[in-house]
Amino acid sequence: MKKRDRDHLNLLCDVGELAAILTGSDNIESFLQRTVKMVARHLDAHVCSIYLYDESMKELVLTATLGLNPAAVGKIRMKLGEGLVGTTMDQLQPILEGSGSRNPKFKYFEEADEDRYESFLAVPIQKGVEKIGVLVVQHEEFNYFNEIDVMALRAIASQLAGAIENARLLMNLDQQLGKQSVKDIFEGLRFIRGKIAASGYAFAPSTVFRRNYRRLMIGDPASDPHSTLKDFYRALKMTGRQLEELQNRVSERLPESAALIFTAHFMILKDESFITKIVTRIEEGLSPAEAVRSVARYYISAFASSSHAYMREKVVDIEDLANRILANLRYKKLKDHPLMRGHIVIAPDLYPSDMLKLASEDVKGIILVSGGVTSHVSILSRSMEIPLIIADRPEFLNLPEGTPILIDAEIGNIYVKPSKKVVQQFETRNETKKSVASMAKTMSRSTKTKDGVRVRLLANINLLSELGLARDLKAEGVGLYRTEFPFLIRSSFPSEEEQYHIYKRLFEEMAGKIITIRTLDVAGDKLLPYSDATGEANPSLGLRSIRFSLNHRDIFEQQLRAILRAASKAKSLRIMFPLITSVDEFREAKQIVFDCMNRLSQLHLPHHGNPAIGLMIELPSLIEIIDQLANEADFFSIGTNDFVQYTLAVDRTNEKVSDYYKPYHPSVLRGLSKIVKAIVNHRKDLSVCGEMAHEEQYIPFLLGIGIRNFSVNPQFLPAVQKCIANLSLVKAESFTQALLSETTIRGVLNVLNSKRES
């Protein structure tokens, strides 16, 4: 073996010195870069790298390296337990390998250029129980490192741990004191990996979404245009025209919300006292712009202090309207929302109704710094094909307006101020990517497994605008129509007539097919802005879904009558209740449907006289009473999103507990299996409509327990059909048995992973 020029003592002293001069104002990356150079030099190693642990993503990120390709910094990421580096962090133990590539855990990253390094030594960097990162050295020679190197690196790692932790603390403190410079924000956010809520790709300037946005209203009178009362009337007229145009465009994309997004705008625009107040101020000597601002502020403060949630929501509409008038006074073109259109929107949180507004404003993409991928906002963004990534990084909210951002929601990456090269790469990829709609030609009318078992594919519909795609992709019907979305976008409960027209379109556009309408499923994360009844501390366990309907019988009956009337000519109608907890509740809801039919008959109103009545299985409480329910219900649909949430007590909208949201938990799998067995025994119709139904890793399991109906968002239909066509039922069943025999999460994961690798 070649004589090695190693010098542990000096190395320790040098790193110690370096660590001592690191302060929070220093850039951690440049400190780590100096460290890896020093370690490599003293150990005569060919490679030295530091991977820092990103707690929010549970991933190690290559942060500094000497020897590997510098372009890989920030890009190579490993989960705990993944590769030798991830295993070092997971087990909190050094790994010393004479030939790293022979270790079965070794993972090769092409972008790192590390194929020629044989010897491998990694030590964890930790502070108490806190994981900080991994320090790695590599060498071309076999068996280059020894136990003394391990000891030396461990000593260095403990020095680094303290230094890095202090630097991070100081940086956080600076942030809290608001001292963080824009440069620091960019440094921390250059490349972020988030969770994909709705796939796609977007490159656009950023803007931060705040619900009570005041900034635009703070105008500078000195820069107001010289305008007159006549200009004000002209601006008012122009604003009305532009809003009408915008409304027409919205109605193409969101028919159920047509006319209603801008109700408040039009109401105020036509309000005599609003106009008179402005005119009076102008006549008193204010400039038209200042007069508009002053009256708008007056309305805003009145609305903001209202005790009704519905009125408070209107503040945003007044701001928007005032800004449109102000822009028109300047002859500026302000066709749409001045802030959101064409932007990537960064939001602290969003209501589904915000989401619909954003869609109407044609935003390019969304970064949400809280929330979960099965939340309704995520589901809705998929329906509207707006790429959405969830990243638990509140610093995003501090990004200056207009920062160029690229979101790659195919793999969950966010690039802040990306280089030209990155943008080009994505544009090329985006152009070549086939749109889902173009796959219609390749879809078969019916779906079968490899061994010929027939499976039915249905569509989950959230918005009427999705029906076209569902038809093109040959959905055999609607397995779930979420009726709450028309309710969420409205400024008050839609009337029976309004609902009737919406549901009628559903039956017309899917004529002759199975249609499953779920009754109102509000609260939880689907809050009605106008209903103060939903202001609860714990809405997921509160008066939601069928409980809300049974407690507001008038609203429930109006909805049922609208459904029954809209389906008067339909061949089949399936009415489904959400979040049923007991046989008693199901019977009560079912009786109300019969009462509604009787009432409609008395009124001689045409309606469907024989609907199938079923329920969603979303709660573990149904496992023990499923046989009785199967005697009484016509059909069932399993809502795995809520079933997982309630079985595991994990809020599906809370990013902080998203790691606990495990559809593969043995209790979830076994619970589902028991339910399906009972329903199949009773020969009742059964489907799955939660997100698990389109996730390829769970499809064999669902088939294996007996599911033959899958209801998924239309854009997933091609992938689900392809996945099923490649599976044989016999194999899916034995795989399912293997999954069900596992008693631990880790055990199930091993079985799932072995399938993925096979």
Binding mask 429-468 for ligand PEP (x = CB under 6 A): ----------------------------------------
651 contributes a contact to ligand PEP by CB under 6 A: no
CA dihedral 363, 490, 327, 243 (to 10 degrees): 100
Query: What's the token pair of residue 630?
Result: 């199967």
Binding mask 594-623 for Mg ion (x = CB under 5 A): ------------------------x-----
Report CA-CA distances (Å) from 734 to 48, 50, 532, 725: 46, 43, 51, 17
Count of residues engaged in binding ligand PEP, rule: CB under 6 A: 11
Q: What is the smallest separation between the CB atom of 667 and ligand PEP, expressed in angstroms?
A: 16
> Which residue's CB is nearer to ligand PEP, number 207 or number 499?
499
482 binds ligand PEP (CB under 6 A): yes
In the 8-state DSSP scheme, what is residue 186? Answer: H
And the tokens for 493? 């409960």
Q: Residue 197 touches which of ligand PEP, Mg ion, none (CB < 5 to 8 A by kind)?
A: none
- For ligand PEP, give the closer residue by CB, 52 or 699: 699
Single out the residue of 287, 640, 647, 736 in contact with ligand PEP (rule: CB under 6 A).
640
- Min dist. Cβ of residue 484 to Mg ion (A): 10
Among the listed ranges 39-47, 639-647, 662-670, 732-740, the one in contact with ligand PEP (CB under 6 A) is 639-647
Rule CB under 6 A: say whether 418 interacts with ligand PEP.
no
The two tokens of residue 700 are: 């064999």
Residue 376 among the catalytic residues: yes
Query: Using the rule CB under 6 A, is 695 a contact of ligand PEP?
Result: no
Nearer to ligand PEP, 36 or 480 (CB): 480
Taking CB under 6 A as the rule, does residue 639 contact ligand PEP? yes
Min CB(641)–ligand PEP separation in Å = 3
Q: Which residues between 370 and 409 bind ligand PEP (CB under 6 A)?
A: 379
Nearer to ligand PEP, 167 or 589 (CB): 589
Instruction: Please tell me whether residue 639 binds Mg ion under the rule CB under 5 A.
Output: yes
- Asked whether position 642 contacts Mg ion by CB under 5 A, the answer is yes
| Active-site option among 376, 552, 608, 694 | 376
Q: Which is nearer to ligand PEP, 12 or 657 (CB)?
A: 657
Instruction: Check if 608 is active-site.
Output: no
Least distance in angstroms from the C-beta of 480 to ligand PEP: 6
Do 399 and 189 touch, CB atoms closer than 8 A?
yes
Q: How far apart are CA 635 and CA 612, in angstroms?
A: 7
Query: Which one from 48, 596, 689, 723 is the annotated catalytic residue?
Result: 689
Sequence-ordered list of residues with C-beta below 8 angstroms from that of 250, at least 6 positions apart, any chain = 257, 258, 261, 262, 360
Number of neighbouring beta carbons within 10 Å of residue 216:
15
Angle at 94 between CA 88 and CA 99, to 5 degrees: 90
- 93 close to 124: Cβ distance less than 8 angstroms: yes
Distance CA(666)–CA(741), nearest Å, equals 9
Question: Looking up tokens 């009124």, which residue turns up?
Answer: 603
Nearest Cα neighbor of 748 from 348, 757, 619, 737 is 737
* Tokens 């309907």 belong to residue: 549
How big is the site for Mg ion, counted in residues (CB under 5 A)?
Answer: 3
Nearest to 694 by CA among 653, 724, 672, 674: 724
For the chain, the distance separating the N- and C-terminal CA atoms, rounded to the nearest angstrom, is: 40
3-state secondary structure of 110: helix
Task: Give the C-alpha separation, 375 to 388, whole Å.
Answer: 12
Binding site for Mg ion (CB under 5 A): 618, 639, 642
- Point out the residues that are catalytic: 376, 689
Binding site for ligand PEP (CB under 6 A): 379, 480, 482, 521, 618, 639-642, 689-690
